[in-house]
Amino acid sequence: MDDFQLLIDLHRPAKRQGPGGDTETKLAMELAGLDLSRPLKIADIGCGTGASTILLARELDADITAVDFLQEFLDELQIRASEQGVADRITTLNCSMDALPFDEGEFDVIWSEGAIYNIGFEAGVSTWRRFLKPGGKLIVSEITWLSATRPAELQSHWHSEYPEIDVASAKIGIVERHGYSPQGYFVLPVHCWLEDYYRPMQSRFDAFLERHGHSNQAKAIVDAERHEIALYERFRDYYSYGVYVAKKV
């Protein structure tokens, strides 16, 4: 089994594949000030198994395109959407986020939680803009430094993992430079990392290792996740996901 299949096996059962929470998704919806007088057309990019997609479908009168490049996650999303009675509002699309087949001005809202880093914040913010209607809303979460300075060990870890990590003012500057008006920003609280993401993942480690015969590959994946969790636990005052809400101008 390759690493991708192992990662899918570890993460498919989870409610979400990155830090986040229902309350925070709803807060972002409020900050976006969506026009609820008519059905909305929404793209949820890097949707995973659909934590945000399904909540948006439940809360809004919307037609949602859920995009991910892992079919296994999209299959799981469809099962969950059916269980929750919102399957008719959601279309899944297996596609890479850097090659989206959308038309210019097709969407009222582009939503993306914990996923834009896969093509880079600036590339995503700039290339997805054309898919929004004038006045359309962009809601993205992105790993963000919470202060101007931080321990060197942490800086060097993230610099090698994701060099685009930066403070919120820099991210908001990118949003502005690429033709949006910022409408809101908030930081995901600690429970979005621990209770909603890391603790459920930790509870799956033993069964995951068992299923894969404690192979070196499976152990390496668990070790990497444990390392990430330990880093967060030590340095959580210095970074989180920022949620950025902006309007296309």
* Least spacing, CB of residue 242 vs ligand SAM, in Å: 14
Q: Which residues contact 182 (CB under 8 A, 6 or more apart)?
A: 172, 175, 176, 244, 245, 246
Which of residues 52 and 92 has its CB atom nearest to ligand SAM in the complex?
52
User: Which residue in 29, 55, 114, 165 binds ligand SAM (CB under 6 A)?
Assistant: 114
Give the separation between CA 44 and CA 177, rounded to whole angstroms. Answer: 23
Q: Is 214 left (phi over 0), alpha (psi -120 to 50) or beta?
A: left
Q: Are 100 and 128 in contact (CB under 8 A)?
A: yes
Give the separation between CA 138 and CA 234, rounded to whole angstroms. Answer: 32
Q: Which stretch binds ligand SAM (CB under 6 A): 42-50, 85-93, 177-185, 206-214?
A: 42-50
User: Which residue in 24, 76, 113, 166 binds ligand SAM (CB under 6 A)?
Assistant: 113
- Count residues binding ligand SAM (CB under 6 A): 20
User: Which residue in 118, 127, 155, 183 binds ligand SAM (CB under 6 A)?
Assistant: 118
21 lies in the site for ligand SAM, by CB under 6 A = no
* Least spacing, CB of residue 73 vs ligand SAM, in Å: 5
- Please give the full DSSP string across 158-210, using - where no structure is assigned: HHHH-TT-EEHHHHHHHHHHTTEEEEEEEE--HHHHIIIIIHHHHHHHHHHHH
User: Which residue in 16, 41, 129, 212 binds ligand SAM (CB under 6 A)?
Assistant: 16
Q: Which stretch binds ligand SAM (CB under 6 A): 10-18, 162-170, 209-217, 240-248?
A: 10-18
69 lies in the site for ligand SAM, by CB under 6 A = yes
- The tally of CA atoms less than 13 A away on the side-chain side of residue 201 is 25
73 lies in the site for ligand SAM, by CB under 6 A = yes
165 lies in the site for ligand SAM, by CB under 6 A = no
* Least spacing, CB of residue 14 vs ligand SAM, in Å: 8
* H or E segment and range at residue 111: strand 107-112
Map tokens 């995973």 to a residue: 48
User: Which residue in 28, 40, 42, 70 binds ligand SAM (CB under 6 A)?
Assistant: 70
- Residue 241 identity (one-letter amino acid): Y
CA-based R_g, the chain, Å: 18
242 lies in the site for ligand SAM, by CB under 6 A = no
* Least spacing, CB of residue 240 vs ligand SAM, in Å: 14
Give the separation between CA 78 and CA 142, rounded to whole angstroms. Answer: 25
48 lies in the site for ligand SAM, by CB under 6 A = yes
47 lies in the site for ligand SAM, by CB under 6 A = yes
- The SS3 assignment for 145 reads strand
Given the rule CB under 6 A, which residues bind ligand SAM?
16-18, 20, 46-48, 51-52, 68-70, 73, 96-98, 113-115, 118
